[in-house]
Chain A
Amino acid sequence: MSSHIVASFDEDLVQIQAKISEMGGVAEEMLSKALESVQNRDAALASEVIDRDKALDAMEMELEEAVVRVIALRQPVANDLRVLIAAMKISSTLERIGDLAKNIAKRAIPLSAARPMRLTTSIARMGRETLAQLSAVLNAHASRDVDTAVQIWNQDYEIDEMYNAIFREVVTYMVEDSRLIGVGAQLMFIAKNLERIGDHTTHISEMVYYIVKGNTLGDDRPKGEPTGVNLVAG
């Protein structure tokens, strides 16, 4: 990085980016626990996740203030400005991911009282995949690893595919047995939330790319193919 007149500017940048990793850690944990609460029908754990969201909101506010302060005081250009803008965007993305995890936890509460449904395994798997992508993109951010960021960006279609499959499966169940409509709807919302977390994860990939390369990743991200039959797991 270029040398700055004021030595502690670098320190500001380091602390802001460390805050992103910290927020990422909270978002990751919220998602993991939300999924656990769905799978184990654990309403207490779900409430814990719901409460945790406030901490993430506070962190976002803090980060935003820090960024605004640094921009105002130091008037950064080029590289540094990019880092700061990206930090702001990533932090609001992480805050959104936290919201979505909270929504999942909210659905876990009524589900914990309902009859167990086999479909929860499919959701759990989609959840694990989503969490793995989120973790990987946070690693990519921490180590400025563009290759991994691009790879994650390319892989989001897998989550889309899982979503489509779950959607079809839930519909089939609800058509077969109208008693499952309530539970099915909850599961559908959870899957939708996961699918959106996947989308947000690709935004973080884009930001990592932007920080390192200085321009944006194209628009031609592979989407879940509407007719092809293709799936990646593992």
Chain B
Amino acid sequence: MHAAVAILVGVVAATATGLALSPALAFLGAALIAYVASHFLHRTLHAEPEPREGTGDAGETGGRQIPADVGPQLIEKLPVPLLLISQRGRLGYANLAAQGMLPRLTPGQHFAHIIRAPAFVEAVSATLRDGLERSFEFTSYEGNERHFEARVSMLAECEGFGPEAHAIVQVEDRTRTHRIEQLRSDFIANASHELRTPLASIIGYIETLQNHAREDPEARERFLAIMAREAHRMQRLVDDLMSLSRIEMNEHVRPVERLPLNRIACDCASVFQPLASQEGITLRVELDPDEADVIGDRDQLSQVFTNLIDNAMKYSAPGATVTIRSAPENPAHPGRVGVSVSDTGMGIPREKLHRLTERFFRVSVPQSRHKGGTGLGLAIVKHILNRHKGRIEISSVLGEGSTFTVWLPRATQLHIVPDEPPAVAPASRAAR
């Protein structure tokens, strides 16, 4: 621990004196390192019984000093989101981690516009008023619910920022932990409920086989076939639930890859071609594969179209037509591109429409069961689209057919991959 403190003091000195960048940033480096020393590293070091040897691999500087220009970079690249808020409530500085976590963040903005959770606003305002350090938790409801832990305290007067005092806020995203807890209980509740029926039926058949069907080879074959079907259903159910959990777990993580949406839809459709001709269904693809770039996760978007095409074919009789096409631009979805999957199948009664994406919801349970459905397909679609900030639009006329349209934000010309966020505005300008 002593050694660690020595290193940090060294860094503070080096940063404060030797920095050629703006004085504000230099000061910031020093101040934040001091802060980090007392909070972040302090904790990490406490967690480690012995500080690692060889931290001083710094080559020419020898010893354990970190070169002067590393200070601000260190703060900038620290994985913990840090925000600096002025006495008048303005955002003075945010490091890369904070920018990644809070995409709407603009330097100079009032902090309540960035995070308006009452616990956050109250704690930061109180610390700006009385100077005391506070730890607190807060939740944000933007799109997907997210849970955070944070700590706020005052920085000493800092010249680089003018006469105003500043509070420093350290935020940690705890959404994942929260979700894991939530999902575990949901998973158990759902799985046990849904597994009960097939399990009961398998047990019933086993008992029958053990008793009077023992000597009846014909019945045995029949029962074994049913048991196999039920067991496969259970397996699919567990697979789908696992897949849904995985998707939900990462729902708050934005995808990063730039992808041609139409091509993904085309590829999914071609996988279904053989099955379609086998079932007497015409599968039509009417879209330009080189159009419509989105930011997404390829496997998940494939899963969306696979589920929709699978449904369209499953809930249509032989002779029906399933069409995949680009949706015309729609003022209700500005900035989004749409791909629709429509069928000329049985359609969905209006009063059931709004429940379709609920997990385990089926319009007709026996019918979906008969087709091997688990009722998770559209729930998976919905969660994937949530993650992509997209939507699913469903329209249907009973007895005539249904159309499921996927809407996703169109990738802009200049998509910036979160790994390399835009450069931060210089702190001095931002502090105004």
Contacts and interface: CB of A to CB of B under 8 A. Distances in A.
Interface of A: 11, 14-15, 17-19, 21-22, 24-26, 28-29, 32, 121-122, 125-126, 131-132, 134-136, 138-139, 142-143, 147, 150-151, 154-155, 161-162, 165-166, 168-169, 172, 222, 228-234
Nearest to B108: A14
A234 B392 contact: yes
B116 interface: yes
Contacts of B113: 17-18, 21, 142-143
Interface of B: 88-89, 104, 106, 109-114, 116-118, 120-121, 139, 141-143, 145, 331-335, 348, 350-351, 353-358, 381-382, 385-386, 390-397
B119 to A, nearest CB: 8
B358 A229 contact: no
B392 A233 contact: yes
A28 B350 contact: no
Contact of A18 (B89, B333, B382, B396): B89
B357 A22 contact: no
Nearest to A167: B351
22 contacts: A21-B110, A25-B121, A28-B116, A29-B118, A122-B358, A125-B358, A132-B141, A135-B142, A136-B143, A142-B109, A142-B116, A147-B334, A150-B334, A151-B334, A228-B395, A231-B354, A231-B356, A232-B391, A233-B354, A233-B391, A234-B385, A234-B391
Contacts of B88: 11, 14
Contact of A22 (B112, B139, B332, B353): B112
B350 A229 contact: yes
Give the dominant DSSP class at A's interface: helix
Contacts of A135: 141-143
Given A14-B89, A136-B142, A165-B351, 9 more contacts: A18-B89, A25-B118, A32-B141, A147-B334, A150-B334, A165-B350, A229-B396, A234-B381, A234-B382
Given A22-B121, A230-B394, A231-B395, A131 B112 contact: no
Given A143-B106, A143-B113, A231 B353 contact: yes
Contacts of B114: 142
Contacts of B358: 121-122, 125
Nearest to B347: A229
B351 to A, nearest CB: 5
B394 A232 contact: yes
Contacts of B145: 32
Given A132-B141, A233-B394, A29 B112 contact: no
Nearest to B403: A230
B288 to A, nearest CB: 24
Contact of A233 (B141, B351, B357): B357
A38 to B, nearest CB: 16
A4 to B, nearest CB: 15
A169 B394 CA distance: 19
